[in-house]
Amino acid sequence: MSFLDDVVAGLSLPQKALPPKYFYDAAGSKLFERICRLPEYYLTRAELSLTRKNISSIGKFAGLGCELLEYGSGESLKTRLLIRALQPKAYLPVDISQTALQGAARRLAREFPWLRVLPVVADFSRPLELPQAKARRVAYFPGSTIGNLTPEEAHGFLARNRALADRMLVGVDLRKDANVLHAAYNDARGVTAAFNLNLLVRINRELGGDFDLRSFAHYAFYNAAYGRIEMHLVSSKRQKVRIGAHRFAFERGESIHTENSYKYSLEGFRTLAAQAGFSGSRAWTDRAGMFALHGLTAG
């Protein structure tokens, strides 16, 4: 599926929707980095602080000299903490962006000259082809990116990983007060709004779209029944949008659903992991209890 195929399919649904993986072009990645530094967006800081605080027990759980598989390009500080603590035999970052992987791999090679970096260009929502494992494999999925998947998709992702890795480390945002969640996705500076709207900018530029950016607004709310933040782009008027040869009609107030960000209680995620075949699970949290890193064992 190309970007165009995904956009046409998504905008043809009764509830229009776009896959969140397309947020991350160069401009979107910059905006996401800004989100991570916002005072309201606690996730990145909470995960970094719990990783720092618990690095020795996380390291013991994962074991020295494993092969570390990471879903993500390997750009983050947490990755560096983990590499330093685990001294992995090989590091395999998995990302859809070849450019992001190359840049991150170059920086890591400079920082850790002893490290074997084997970048894998792939979409983690589908089965992966990996080089033969030469040591115990640990899969690291930080950042609560698993929250972008529905619980059914997350189950499938975890179950597929049982065949790839003996252990997993999964960063998961915890359920909490809806006001705290709301603020994190509706920041005062409007960076999250710009991040959401950038998807339309990207469609205009890459697919020849004519979205009028002034007539779509960022909308994010906590859907308590589903335990997820939903992000939408809401049309402020009745209008038609053209994308190449395709046309899409919007009613006033109609939205494009652009992202789900599921939140799990410790118990809720443990149950999901157990259903996917992981046992003996443990978890580390930050002092404020905002975020969890789950250690899962296949078996």
List residues binding ligand AVJ (CB under 6 A). Answer: 35, 43, 143-145, 147-148, 185, 192, 259, 261
Q: Which is nearer to ligand AVJ, 235 or 260 (CB)?
A: 260
User: Rounded to the nearest whole angstrom, what is the least distance from the CB of residue 228 to ligand AVJ in the complex?
Assistant: 9
User: Rounded to the nearest whole angstrom, what is the least distance from the CB of residue 229 to ligand AVJ in the complex?
Assistant: 7
292 contacts 266 by C-beta, under 8 angstroms? yes
Given 3-state DSSP classes, what are the helix, strand and coil percentages for the chain, each rounded to the nearest 5?
A: 40, 25, 35
Q: Which is nearer to ligand AVJ, 192 or 285 (CB)?
A: 192
3 contacts 22 by C-beta, under 8 angstroms? yes
Q: Which is nearer to ligand AVJ, 20 or 88 (CB)?
A: 20
Q: Which is nearer to ligand AVJ, 262 or 278 (CB)?
A: 262
User: Rounded to the nearest whole angstrom, what is the least distance from the CB of residue 147 to ligand AVJ in the complex?
Assistant: 5
Closest chain position to ligand AVJ (CB): 261
Quick check: helix, strand or coil at residue 238? Answer: coil
User: Rounded to the nearest whole angstrom, what is the least distance from the CB of residue 231 to ligand AVJ in the complex?
Assistant: 6
Classify residue 128 by its DSSP letter: -
Sign of the CA dihedral 145, 168, 121, 128? negative
H/E element, 294 = strand 291-298
Q: Which is nearer to ligand AVJ, 43 or 233 (CB)?
A: 43
Return the structure tokens found at 60.
Answer: 């013991």
User: Rounded to the nearest whole angstrom, what is the least distance from the CB of residue 16 to ligand AVJ in the complex?
Assistant: 18
Return the structure tokens found at 37.
Answer: 């530094």
Classify residue 117 by its DSSP letter: B
Spatial neighbors of 228 by CB under 8 A, at least 6 apart, are 147, 222, 260, 261, 262, 263
Q: Which is nearer to ligand AVJ, 148 or 235 (CB)?
A: 148
User: Rounded to the nearest whole angstrom, what is the least distance from the CB of residue 119 to ligand AVJ in the complex?
Assistant: 20
- Rounded Cα distance, 13 and 230, in Å: 17
